[in-house]
Structure formats: structure tokens, C-alpha cells
């Protein structure tokens, strides 16, 4: 099936599960320390992803990873952890319908950081889309 090999399919699934995550996490952080909630979620993600690796039989490629790959994956993991800690704290303090749109401002950061470090071009499409995301985040969080 060609759709299973298309980035848009997986991106839409990612967006759906991210939305579901916000709602489930909002309920999950009620009356719980947000760092503990993040640790529980992270443990589940850790076990789930290693199960996927084992099921796919792709753990043998660990030895093939370069130091550069290890370093960037470790830093990416640290950034993810920091993002989750901040996200769960924000969910604990605010409404999910307000926190999630602000979290999606990450798209604007991706555009800027990809241009700066990966030398990806910033076209009028990115400017327009980023501006609309910013406007949408402001509109959705204004109260």
C-alpha cells in the first residue's frame, strides 16, 4: 500500500495521537506531580518503542551507529524529555485546549532552526504557514 509509505499519512497519525495525548495527559496529571507523570509516560514510551524494535528485529543495527548519530540522538532525547516535562507542567497548570496550541508553536521553531542549522530554504509557504500557526495559537489561547 503506497499510503503506508507516505510521510503525510504518518504525520496525520502523529497529529491525531498528539491530540489524544494532550487529552489523556490532562486527566492523568490531576493531583499528581507533573514530573512523576512525565516519568510514567516516558517509561511506557521506552518499553513500547523497545518492543517495536524487538518485533522488527532491528536491534542488531545498534553497533552500526556512529558516534555522531549517538550524540545527536542523545541530545534529541534530552530535548524530548525537557519538552515533555514542560508540557506536562503546562497541562497541570492550564487547559489542554490552550496548552496544545502553544505547544504547536514548535513548528515555527522547527522552521527557524532548520533554516539556521540545516540550511533549509524558508519560502513564502513557511512564512505564511508559520504566521497562521502563530495567529491560530493566539486566537485559541486568548481568554
Say which DSSP state 44 is in: H
Question: Rounded distance, CA 28 to CA 8, Å?
Answer: 29
pLDDT at 136: 95
pLDDT at 62: 81
Taking a C-beta distance cutoff of 8 angstroms, is the pair 12, 20 a contact?
A: no
Question: Rounded distance, CA 59 to CA 65, Å?
Answer: 11
Render each residue's pLDDT in the chain as its tens digit; 143 residues: 688 888 889 898 999 999 999 999 999 999 999 999 999 999 999 999 999 988 988 777 788 899 999 999 999 999 999 999 999 999 999 999 999 999 999 999 999 999 999 999 999 999 999 999 999 999 999 87
Domain contains 61: no
Domain contains 121: yes
Domain contains 78: yes
Looking at the 3D structure of the chain, how many domains does it have? 1
Domain contains 129: yes
Q: Is-above-0.85 flag for pTM?
A: no
**Residue 22: which of 74, 68, 78, 90 has the closest Cα?**
90
Domain contains 43: yes
Give the structural domain span for 8: 2-56+67-141
Domain contains 109: yes
Domain contains 62: no
Question: Rounded distance, CA 123 to CA 115, Å?
Answer: 10
Q: State CA 8 to chain mean position distance.
A: 16
Domain contains 111: yes
Amino acid at each position: 500500500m503506497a499510503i503506508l509509505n507516505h510521510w503525510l499519512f504518518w504525520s496525520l497519525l502523529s497529529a491525531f495521537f498528539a491530540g489524544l495525548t494532550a487529552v489523556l495527559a490532562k486527566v492523568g496529571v490531576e493531583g499528581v506531580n507533573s514530573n512523576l507523570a512525565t516519568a510514567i509516560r516516558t517509561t511506557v514510551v521506552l518499553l513500547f518503542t523497545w518492543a517495536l524494535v524487538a518485533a522488527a528485529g532491528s536491534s542488531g543495527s545498534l553497533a552500526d551507529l556512529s558516534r555522531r548519530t549517538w550524540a545527536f540522538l542523545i541530545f534529541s532525547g534530552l530535548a524530548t524529555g525537557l519538552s515533555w516535562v514542560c508540557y506536562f507542567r503546562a497541562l497541570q497548570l492550564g487547559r489542554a485546549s490552550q496548552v496544545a496550541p502553544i505547544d504547536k508553536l514548535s513548528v515555527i521553531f522547527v522552521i527557524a532552526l532548520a533554516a539556521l542549522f540545516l540550511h533549509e530554504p524558508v519560502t513564502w509557504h513557511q512564512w505564511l504557514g508559520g504566521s497562521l500557526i502563530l495567529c491560530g495559537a493566539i486566537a485559541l489561547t486568548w481568554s
